[in-house]
Structure 1
Amino acid sequence: MTDTTTQRTPRIPPLEAPYPEPIGELLTRMTPPQAPEILALFRVLAVNPALAERTMELGRYLLGRKAAISLREREIVILRVCARCGAEYEWGVHWSGFADAAGFNDTDRSVMASPDGDLSLLAPRDRLLVSMVDQLHHTSDVDDALWEALRAHWSHAQLIELMMLAGWYHSVSYVCNAARVPLENWAARW
């Protein structure tokens, strides 16, 4: 994991209010109603408003009510991808925003936040998702044995969604890390 004991200087500073009208409206649409403020990540993405606009649709699908996977499954994948990529910003936002609703406990937190956490402490289905993320992270593939285990629990449509979700949050992690998005004051830390 990336050392984040001290805040690093942003390479792409988040936009600050007052925002020009099209940017303000875009940021309002990007921000979930339950968010305590406009996230620094969104304010960084809005530096390229055309791209930010285009990415909203996929993000909303993967995080929305039309998703083919449960909230818990989604958050396991997101949290593990962020942990594997060392993206404390996004990990902390998701832990703070969704851990309670997903039913995570302290053991889940310690295992999912650590690349070398003891996977045997997780529930079997959770362990399969973490293993999928780990294999994708290391090899950009899933071996046959794990694929068959995954297939016993998730449909092809769900597996595509799980893999797309992992890839999406790998991209988000890249932006968080390389742009040095400043940590949210209210978000969890490793």
Structure 2
Amino acid sequence: MTTSQPRVEPVVPPYPPELQAIFDRVMPPGVPPLSLFTTLARVPRVYERFRAGSLLDRGPLSLRHREIVIDRTCARCGCAYEWGVHVAFFAQRVALTPEQVRSTLRGDAADPTWSAEERLLIRLVDELHDSASITDGLWKELTAAFCLEQVFEAIALVGFYHTVSFFANGVKLAPEPFASPCPRRDVRAPGPFEAHGHATRTRGAPRLRRGASERAGGLGGPFEAPMLW
């Protein structure tokens, strides 16, 4: 399989001190910055605005719910790059089963693998992606199951990860070495996923430094990471 070449060369180390400080804040200790970040850093104004609106901190949604929204959004956008990063780092930590990971790509809200609340999140992503709107029926169900802060957070995540997908696909980012491969037969949008060469995993995701103070949405054990990408 031929992998497309990235359209933009990233910044390379050694990074200026102020940029290194930014990378240190958003990456776990000992993990190099993602190529998404080093590529966006080529245009400091855009990278600054990207970081300012990124929702990379822990918000009102559980980490599991957050990851379901992100994985589904990236899958619907055909963004193999970001889908692979999130599945590699977070799927096990939030107890997503292999069936659920596949469902983010090829399934839908009716899949029995999801809980009632999780089905609502899948429906939210799909409605926003397909129509840029939310039906009255879904809104009523969402606000009955989640508080307003959580609903707004989910909507914002869908929007932000469309932006991430547009950048990753638009500049043809190569997959990270640790990224989870996309099962090709399950690809919802075969063009972008195949183009980025997600065929095999070269090595596991970098290990996050673990601590006792935080848990991944109550699932998967404690871990510490400055940001959630």
The percent identity for this pair of structures is 36
Q: Which amino acid aligns with 1:189?
A: P
- Kindly report which structure 2 residues correspond to 1:56-75, keeping only aligned pairs within 5 A, or say none: 56-59=51-54, 62-65=55-58, 67-75=59-67
- Kindly report which structure 2 residues correspond to 1:93-132, keeping only aligned pairs within 5 A, or say none: 93-114=85-106, 119-132=111-124
TM-score by length of 2: 0.73
Conservation of the 8 A alpha-carbon contact between 1:11 and 1:179: yes
**Aligned: 1:154 with 2:149:** no
Q: Which amino acid aligns with 1:56?
A: R
**Aligned: 1:15 with 2:11:** yes
* Residues in 1 aligned to 2:30 and 2:145: alpha-carbon distance in whole angstroms: 32
**Aligned: 1:54 with 2:10:** no
Conservation of the 8 A alpha-carbon contact between 1:27 and 1:46: no
TM-score by length of 1: 0.87
Question: Deviation per CA, 1:37-90, whole angstroms, max 9, x where unpaired?
Answer: 21110011101112212322332xx2323x111101110110000000010110
Q: Which amino acid aligns with 2:10?
A: P
Give 1:164's aligned residue.
156
Conservation of the 8 A alpha-carbon contact between 1:76 and 1:129: yes
Give 1:173's aligned residue.
165
Structure 2 unmatched runs, 5+: 183-229
Conservation of the 8 A alpha-carbon contact between 1:111 and 1:119: yes
Pick the structure with more helix per residue.
Answer: 1
Deviation at 1:118, TM superposition (A): 5.8
Question: Deviation per CA, 1:89-109, whole angstroms, max 9, x where unpaired?
Answer: 100111111111211001111
- Kindly report which structure 2 residues correspond to 1:32-47, keeping only aligned pairs within 5 A, or say none: 32-34=27-29, 36-47=31-42
Distance 1:115 1:46, change over 3 A: farther
* Residues in 1 aligned to 2:35 and 2:159: alpha-carbon distance in whole angstroms: 21
Distance 1:6 1:70, change over 3 A: farther
Q: Aligned residues, how many?
A: 182
* Residues in 1 aligned to 2:75 and 2:112: alpha-carbon distance in whole angstroms: 17
Distance 1:87 1:131, change over 3 A: same
* Residues in 2 aligned to 1:100 and 1:124: alpha-carbon distance in whole angstroms: 21
Distance 1:167 1:35, change over 3 A: farther
Q: Which amino acid aligns with 2:132?
A: S
1:63 alignment partner, SS class: coil
Question: Deviation per CA, 1:120-144, whole angstroms, max 9, x where unpaired?
Answer: 3322211110111001000001111
Q: How large is the Cα RMSD of the aligned pairs? A: 1.9
Conservation of the 8 A alpha-carbon contact between 1:41 and 1:176: yes
* Residues in 1 aligned to 2:93 and 2:109: alpha-carbon distance in whole angstroms: 22
List, as ranges, runs of 4+ consecutive aligned residues in structure 1 with deviation greater than 4 Å.
115-118
Deviation at 1:115, TM superposition (A): 5.9
Deviation at 1:116, TM superposition (A): 5.9
* Mean CA deviation greater in 107-116 or 68-77: 107-116
Deviation at 1:34, TM superposition (A): 5.0
Give 1:91's aligned residue.
83
